[in-house]
Structure 1
Amino acid sequence: MSGEILDNRGRGQAAWNWPSIHPEGRKFALIAAAISAFFAFMAWETLAWPTAVLVLCIAAFFRDPQRVTPRGDNLVVAPADGLITLITKTPPPRELQIDDGSGSGGMGEEAVTRISIFMSVFDVHINRSPIGGTVRRVIYIPGKYLNAGLDKASEENERQHIMVERGDGLKIGFTQIAGLVAKRIVPFVKPGDMLAAGQRVGLIRFGSRVDVYLPAGTEPKVLLGQKTIAGETVLAEIGQQPLIEGVSQ
């Protein structure tokens, strides 16, 4: 199904498939499988079975399912699977505000809407670009490993800022944030790369969060407490400011 065009009138074909394992996780799965095989060869069943289960857990964590990304010039899609835990007004991080001398200005100091998506260890951890455009910044910042659900994790935890600029100059920034268990942010992109909306940009190992900074004048089309699917869930439509209410049930 990769690269196929599908629509809301039945064009295309869709079928369930086992998700692939991202190459970043295959080495860990192979190491665990080798250890499990060794324990089984030695007839140490009390160790062989737990390590065999560990292989399955690693494969599940690094799963990389295909996604169908809605097409639309003004659509902003979710960069991460997870739970929307915070929606607030705040200026973008300083690293995304300032002009870094690269010829592409920052997002400015004006407060914009930030959507925080918390990823548990059970969620897919491949992150995707919310819009199509050119990668202007990839900035890694070392830091702490506080609970990623805390608001202050945006400023104190290990994190990586990415800014993508559309052809018309509109910019969106998003931040990969490590959490209590996450110990490494793995980028797949670099400044100058061209991206399509929903394209893979990196992953965070073992539980974390992604913050998205919407452009000024844009409000989310999702609700606090809603689950998102990376590359599929529409977070917002640029220039639209709807008030949407929901009921927890």
Structure 2
Amino acid sequence: MTNAQLTLVQIDNYGPWTVTPDPRREMDLQTMQSRLFADLAQFIGGRGGYVFFTRFDNMVAITNGLDRTDHELLQETIGNRYPVTISLGTGIDASPIVALESATAGLQRAGSAQDGDRREVLSGDFLSASERTPEDVQIAHFDVNDATGKYTDQLNEFDSFIQIEQGYATLMRYLREEHGALSFFVGGDNIISICPAMSADDYHESIAHVEADAGVELKVGVGVAETPHEAGMDAKHALEACRHRGTAVELGVPHDDVGVATD
């Protein structure tokens, strides 16, 4: 049984700040957002977690292994380095979407995201050491079959992007509605999903749905571990097994059983 700890990262009062005292240059805002995400990724990733940019003013992290002190230090670090502050809400549940809903509710109770008086809220619960298990986190790493041959080397970049994004959108909605999983595009033709305890059949059905609905063929490697980093690395190795064996779904493949393949 999984037990995901989700953290919602929300920039405080960001909308009003971007136009006060005058509208700020868009590329300056994009630069700040990308640097902020990079710092969050380095901080959370260095402690075994994953963070995803979603809308940039709101970001979602799976933070199994990070405690309240880590979250407080993250807020302090960002507050010292940026002209904006961040509020953090956490939630815990076997279902990732339920955990995120709990994390979101904690911040919403503290005030609006555009409330000028709300600063550096830290709400929610954290998994204690005694509650943690080697099955807490299930990470699925999806990849488009032959994306280079079908899209990158055949279409212009924008049309390639449309094709891959359509596959992502279909998968994201299906996994959220059918399983309560959270899926995030992470660049290239890769999607990472935070999942509840799902079976190989569940993943085969998900892949079949995306192919039928969006015409995009996927494969997926799945890892289960105590932390997102460990589960994610196992998922990467399982995905390599898909490439090596020509399979669509691989769960928990030992590293030394994986050959070398591409795309």
TM-score by length of 1: 0.26
Which one has the bigger helix percentage?
2
Q: Looking at secondary structure, tell me which structure has more strand per residue.
A: 1
Tell me the TM-score normalized by structure 2: 0.25
